[in-house]
C-alpha cells in the first residue's frame, strides 16, 4: 500500500508517516549515532511492540523493551521515575533514542520521559490507536497526570518522527475506535468541514477501520494538527484551537478518575462548547444541533450527569489552559471559525452545563 508523509513544520520538522505494514520505516526516523533504543509499551499488550522491536533489531540497534501500565495509569511521576531508573541501568545516553508504542497515554509518557532524560533525547512515536494517531502522538506535547489534573506536568518535545501503521487499528476495540473519532470530528469543526461531510455521508463506515473514508479521515485530521502545531508549537496562539471541547472534557476525565475514555469526555465537551457559543450569541442553534447529530450518529455521548457540576467546575478551575484566575474556552463563531471566550460569567457556564445535562 502507498505511504503518505505529512510534514510537521517548525524549528524541528518531522514526518508523520501513514500506511499499512510500515514498521520498516521506523529505523530511518532515528538519525545517526543511535546504538540503544528503549521501547516503551503497555505491559498488557506486548504484541503491539513486536513489529517495532523486530524492525529495530534487524537494523542493528540494541533494543530494550520497557513495559508500563496500560492507559492513564501509566501517566504518573512514579512510572516516569521507574523508567528513568531503567534508562540509567541500561546506559541510555544522549545520542540514543526512545520509541513509544501504544495509545495516547503511552506516547504522552514516552515523550515526557524522552524530554526529561539527560535534558532531552530523541523520541519516535508509534501510535496504535485511532486517538493516538490523529491527536496524541502528533504535536510534540508530552505530559503526565497529577491528582490535581490531567497533563499539568509536561514539556514541549517534538518527536523525530511518528509512524501510523494502519494495520494496528485492526485490533482496537470498537469502543476505543469510536472514542478516537471525537478528535477527528473536532478537527472538522475547527478547521476542515470536509471531515464532517465525510462522516455524515457514511456514519456506519466511520466507526470501522475498513470504512470507505477511513484513511482520508485520518490523514485529514493529521494535516489539521500538523498545520496548527507547525505554526505554534508552544500554544502561544493558534494552537489553542486544538483545545476545543477539552476544558470540560478534561474536567470530566478527572471527575471520573480517568475511567471514561478521553474521546467520550471530549465529545461531551464539544457539545458544551457549542452551547456556550450559542448562549453567548456567537453561534446559532444549528451549530449545537449539528454537533449533537454527528456525535450521536457514530455512538459518542453528548450528555453528562447533572449532579457532577460542582466537581467538574472545580476541575475546570485548575485546567492548564487557564491564565491566572481567568478561565479560557475555545468556542466557534461558526464552522472552522474558532475564537476565544475568556472569563465567562458563572451563570453562562451553568446554563450551558444544564443543556449538556438535560
The DSSP-derived string for 122-160 is: EEEEEE-SHHIIIIITSSSEEEEEETTEEEEEEEE---S
The CA distance from 112 to 75, in Å, is 9
- Closest-CA residue to 320 (of 242, 257, 260, 259): 242
pTM: 0.93
Q: Please give the class, per CATH, of domain 4-171.
A: alpha beta
Is 71 annotated in a binding site? The answer is yes
Half-sphere exposure of 293 (CA within 13 A, CB side): 12
Q: Considering the chain, what is the average pLDDT of its residues? A: 94
Where do we find the cell 485529514? 220
The CA distance from 100 to 106, in Å, is 6
**pLDDT, average across residues 266-271:** 98
Banded model confidence at residue 171, pLDDT cuts 50, 70, 90: very high
Half-sphere exposure of 168 (CA within 13 A, CB side): 27
Alpha helices in the chain (DSSP H): 50-58, 77-89, 104-116, 130-131, 174-190, 193-201, 203-206, 214-231, 246-255, 262-279, 285-297, 309-317, 346-357
Where do we find the cell 490531567? 150
Residues of the chain with CATH 3.40.50.1970: 4-171
Task: Give the per-residue pLDDT at 51.
Answer: 96
Contact 157, 123 (CB under 8 A): yes
Task: Give the per-residue pLDDT at 231.
Answer: 78
Whether the pLDDT of residue 220 is over 70: the answer is yes
Is 104 annotated in a binding site? The answer is yes
The CA distance from 277 to 273, in Å, is 6
Where do we find the cell 465567562? 344
Residues acting as catalytic residues: 119, 141, 183, 225, 235, 239, 243, 246, 250, 262
Region of poorest pLDDT, from 10-14, 66-70, 286-290: 10-14
Is 333 annotated in a binding site? The answer is no
Is 262 annotated in a binding site? The answer is yes
Task: Give the per-residue pLDDT at 79.
Answer: 98
Region of poorest pLDDT, from 113-122, 166-175, 256-265, 320-329: 320-329
The three-point CA angle 156-11-330 to 5° equals 50
Contact 273, 248 (CB under 8 A): yes
Is 246 annotated in a binding site? The answer is yes
Is 289 annotated in a binding site? The answer is no
Banded model confidence at residue 289, pLDDT cuts 50, 70, 90: very high
Contact 63, 53 (CB under 8 A): yes
The CA distance from 10 to 7, in Å, is 10
Whether the pLDDT of residue 57 is over 80: the answer is yes
- Tell which CATH architecture fits domain 174-357: Up-down Bundle (1.20)
Q: What percent of the chain has pLDDT above 70?
A: 96
Whether the pLDDT of residue 322 is over 70: the answer is no
Cα 120 to Cα 63, 112, 160, 209, distances in angstroms? 19, 9, 12, 35
Residues of the chain with CATH 1.20.1090.10: 174-357
Cell of 69: 501500565
Contact 12, 229 (CB under 8 A): no
**pLDDT, average across residues 304-319:** 92
Whether the pLDDT of residue 319 is over 90: the answer is no
Cell of 130: 485511532
Is 36 annotated in a binding site? The answer is no
Task: Give the per-residue pLDDT at 261.
Answer: 95
Q: What would you measure as the largest C-alpha separation in the chain, in angstroms?
A: 61
The CA distance from 132 to 144, in Å, is 15
Is 135 annotated in a binding site? The answer is no
Where do we find the cell 500538523? 226
Banded model confidence at residue 59, pLDDT cuts 50, 70, 90: very high
Is 192 annotated in a binding site? The answer is no
Which residues face 123 on adjacent strands?
A: 98
Q: Radius of gyration (Cα) for the chain, nearest Å?
A: 20
Residue 149 phi, psi (nearest 5): 170, 175
Is 7 annotated in a binding site? The answer is no
- Closest-CA residue to 356 (of 279, 254, 241, 262): 279
Amino acid at each position: 500500500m502507498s505511504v503518505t508523509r505529512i510534514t510537521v513544520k517548525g524549528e524541528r520538522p518531522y514526518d508523520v508517516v501513514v500506511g499499512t505494514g510500515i514498521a520498516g520505516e521506523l529505523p530511518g526516523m532515528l538519525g545517526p549515532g543511535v546504538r540503544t533504543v528503549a521501547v516503551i509499551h503497555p505491559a498488557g499488550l506486548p504484541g503491539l511492540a513486536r513489529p517495532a522491536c523486530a524492525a529495530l533489531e534487524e537494523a542493528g540497534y540494541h533494543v530494550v523493551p520497557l513495559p508500563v501500565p496500560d492507559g492513564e495509569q501509566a501517566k504518573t511521576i512514579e512510572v516516569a521515575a521507574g523508567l528513568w531508573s531503567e534508562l540509567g541501568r541500561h546506559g541510555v545516553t544522549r545520542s540514543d533514542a526512545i520509541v513509544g508504542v501504544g495509545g495516547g497515554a503511552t506516547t504522552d509518557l514516552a515523550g515526557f520521559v524522552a524530554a526529561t532524560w539527560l535534558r532531552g533525547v530523541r523520541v519516535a512515536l508509534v501510535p496504535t490507536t485511532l486517538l493516538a494517531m490523529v491527536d496524541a502522538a502528533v504535536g510534540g506535547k508530552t505530559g503526565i497526570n497529577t491528582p490535581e489534573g490531567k497533563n499539568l506536568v509536561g514539556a514541549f518535545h517534538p518527536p523525530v518522527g511518528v509512524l501510523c501503521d494502519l494495520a494496528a487499528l485492526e485490533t482496537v476495540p470498537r469502543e476505543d475506535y469510536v472514542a478516537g473519532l471525537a478528535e477527528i470530528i473536532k478537527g472538522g469543526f475547527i478547521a476542515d468541514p470536509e471531515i464532517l461531510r465525510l462522516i455524515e455521508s457514511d456514519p456506519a463506515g466511520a466507526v470501522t477501520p475498513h470504512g470507505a473514508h477511513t484513511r482520508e479521515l485520518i490523514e485529514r485530521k493529521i494535516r489539521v494538527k500538523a498545520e496548527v502545531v507547525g505554526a505554534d508549537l508552544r500554544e502561544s496562539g493558534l494552537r489553542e484551537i486544538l483545545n476545543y471541547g477539552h476544558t470540560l472534557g478534561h474536567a470530566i476525565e478527572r471527575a471520573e478518575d480517568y475511567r471514561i475514555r478521553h474521546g467520550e469526555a471530549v465529545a461531551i465537551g464539544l457539545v458544551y462548547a457549542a452551547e456556550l457559543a450559542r448562549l453567548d450569541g456567537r453561534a446559532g442553534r444549528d451549530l449545537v444541533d449539528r454537533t449533537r447529530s454527528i456525535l450521536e450518529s457514530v455512538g459518542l455521548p453528548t450528555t453528562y450527569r447533572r449532579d457532577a457540576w460542582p466537581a467538574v467546575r472545580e476541575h475546570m478551575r485548575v485546567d492548564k489552559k487557564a491564565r491566572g484566575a481567568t478561565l479560557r474556552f475555545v468556542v466557534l463563531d461558526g464552522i472552522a471559525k474558532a475564537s476565544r471566550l475568556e472569563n465567562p460569567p458563572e451563570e453562562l457556564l451553568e446554563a450551558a452545563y444544564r443543556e449538556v445535562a438535560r
